[in-house]
Amino acid sequence: MATAKPKITPPVAPEYDFDNWSEEDEEKAILAAVPDVRHIIVERRFIGRLSDGTIVEVPLTLTLDEVDELQAEGAPPIDQFKSILKKVHGDASANDFGKRDMVEGAILAEKFFRSLQKIQQAAFPE
């Protein structure tokens, strides 16, 4: 008795409409792609929450030597943030952060450095 072979259907490639793509479509797509990265500041600590709920905590009290070291490397903010994580929480924390979505990491790093800047500016109200 012959066994019937299962019928394999090739996957259908999605159809993309490049010809009618507009600036408005792109703007909506970009906004939909922004991950939900939030942060709070508690007792001189920056506490960030990534879109999967992971909490990342770093102090807002860097020494001048630490700032010099970060700036001497000439690294972008996301790499500087990873260096801070490594210094505060060790290699495992920095390695875990490095495996995360690049956009999420960049957003969190930017929020951290903007928070530092706002704290410095708050010392000199106009």
Check residue 110 and give its pLDDT: 95
HSE-up of 77 (CA within 13 Å, CB side)?
A: 15
Local structure of residue 20 (DSSP, 8 states): T
Local structure of residue 91 (DSSP, 8 states): H
Q: The tokens of 45 are what?
A: 């600590």
Question: 41-50 — which CB contacts under 8 Å span 24+ positions?
Answer: 41/115, 46/111, 46/112, 46/115, 48/108, 48/111, 48/112, 50/100, 50/104, 50/108
Check residue 126 and give its pLDDT: 75
Give me the chain's average pLDDT, please: 89
**pLDDT (mean) for 12-26:** 90
Q: The tokens of 100 are what?
A: 């995360």
Check residue 69 and give its pLDDT: 83
**pLDDT (mean) for 44-70:** 91
Torsion angle (degrees, nearest 10) of CA 19, 24, 30, 36: -150
